Amino acid sequence: MTETIVMKFGGSSVADPDKVRLVAGRFVDAKRRGFDVVGTVSAMGKTTDTLLALASDVSPSPNPRELDMLLSTGERIACALVAMAIHDLGEEAVSFTGSQAGILTDSVHTRAKIREIRGDRIRAALEQGKIALVAGFQGFSRDTMDVTTLGRGGTDATAVALAAALGGACEIYSDVPGVFTADPRIVPGARKLDVVSYDEMLEMAASGAKVLMLRSVELARSHGVRIHARSTFSEEEGTWVQEPEGMEQPIVSAVTHSETDVVFTLTGIPDRPGVAAMIFDTVASAQVNVDTIIQNVVHGRAEMSFSVPAEDVPATRSALDASQAELGSFDVGENHGLGKVSLVGAGMRSHPGVAATMFRTLAELGINLEMISTSPIKISCMIARDRIPEAVRGLHAAFRLEREPEREPTI
């Protein structure tokens, strides 16, 4: 039986006709290596931004159903063009909209979640020896029969869901060759990782690694889909994201960072039980990814701080306004001067010494820690944003990440 492979290319990989032909060539190569090939691509270059700008030129608050009708065209255009280029290379291809491909979602416009993939037309195309291309980032709701879009990271989610539904690995192509021990633009000695576990990748994505979106990694983990993150522009192997093999896992796999977080500090919060929880409920239901949270009492008044990614700042502000309307007034401060540096490694679970080494390294560089948050396999520190590159280089060196990994000893 032929093995199925799902290949996903982002918007920058199909940004112009030359790149469209190059991507078509990658699909054709995979087909000729003997795979059943399913492809999904994002909208070309800045198409989605252009469509969003058009919508906001027309309407101050575009109707969400119509916004989905609008935005879903970008990926359809890209898929149709790639299909044309594949034909010119001598293979057959057929492009499908999300609804033609049977990508069923809930009916939450602009950020729908995939419920199920009925891949009948995809399977039929594969059986006919065709390359099946599926417009990313979109599906349709069986309840309303309307087109939906999947929101941020939607095309990666499409790719992983297709791999889960059809059985097969999922290759996610981008302009970087894989997952690195740190951002190579900051750390010249950063090393490409051959394999990372789902848990590590989740922490890395949450703490600033841009290669894969949190959402697609979660989807991959819950369906056991292996992801191969690799470069559009090279044949080189990338990084596999999968269940860890064997007992040994690296103590520290990578240093990640993020320079765009914004820290909100709330002071004078009404001192009643459950108030903090209610505020976070409101923020969470606005789909904000709250990261580090600190709550303490200063001079007898409750104070609470949390960081959110820059793109979630407007949603956070509205959610806090709504909370104040409900709970009474409190002060909201925003700090745009901080960044986050994180260490991620599955072996950390059994090596509590990592935090101490991290803090000592940053202290030796004279960097103050503003906030700290931890998970079993991650430690994050909020520090002054302009010290981020130094901190990343210092930590990469301190944990010797330029070398092959230290591993947790076998039991």
CB 213 → a copy of itself: shortest distance, Å? 25
Least Cβ distance, residue 139 to a copy of itself (angstroms): 14
Is 122 one of the binding residues for a copy of itself (CB under 8 A)? Answer: no
Q: How far is the CB of 57 from a copy of itself (least distance, A)?
A: 4
Nearer to a copy of itself, 58 or 325 (CB): 58
Paired sense of beta strands 36-41 and 131-135, if any: parallel
Residue 332 forms beta bridges with which residues?
A: 266
Query: Looking at 7, 30, 38, 81, which residue binds a copy of itself (CB under 8 A)?
Result: 81
Residues 36-65, mask of contacts with a copy of itself (x by CB under 8 A): ---------------x--xx-xxxxxxx-x
Residue 49 Cβ vs a copy of itself, minimum distance, rounded to whole Å: 14
Encoded tokens for 299? 């001079």
> Candidates 90-98, 199-207, 282-290, 316-324 — which segment interacts with a copy of itself by CB under 8 A?
90-98
- Scanning 85-93, 208-216, 254-262, 398-406 for contacts with a copy of itself by CB under 8 A, the matching segment is 85-93
Minimum distance of a copy of itself from residue 59's CB (angstroms) = 4
Cα–Cα distance list, 171 to 29, 39, 40, 219, 227 (Å): 14, 9, 10, 14, 6
Among 32, 33, 49, 88, binds a copy of itself (CB under 8 A): 88
Binding a copy of itself (rule: CB under 8 A), the pick from 15, 84, 276, 384 is 84
Task: Say if CB 117 and CB 100 are below 8 A apart.
Answer: no
Asked whether position 109 contacts a copy of itself by CB under 8 A, the answer is: no
Answer yes or no whether residue 145 interacts with a copy of itself by CB under 8 A.
yes
Decide: is 181 part of the binding site for a copy of itself (CB under 8 A): no
Residue 31 sits in the site that holds a copy of itself (CB under 8 A): no
Q: Which long-range contacts (CB under 8 A, 24 or more apart) does 234-240 make?
A: 234/177, 236/177, 237/178, 237/194, 238/177, 238/178, 238/179, 238/192, 239/178, 239/179, 239/192, 239/193, 239/194, 239/195, 239/196, 239/211, 240/194, 240/195, 240/196
Query: On the CB side of 135, how many CA atoms lie within 13 Å of its CA?
Result: 27
Residue 192 bridge partners (DSSP): 180
Q: CA 53, CA 56: separation in Å to the nearest integer?
A: 5
Where helices occur in 137-246 by DSSP H, the ranges are 154-166, 198-206, 214-223
Interface with a copy of itself (CB under 8 A), residue from 5, 6, 7, 20: 20
**Residue 294 CB contacts under 8 Å (≥ 6 apart), including other chains:** 304, 305, 306, 371
Interface ranges with a copy of itself (CB under 8 A): 17, 20-21, 51, 54-55, 57-63, 65-67, 69-70, 73, 76-77, 79-81, 83-85, 87-88, 93-95, 97, 100, 121, 145, 147
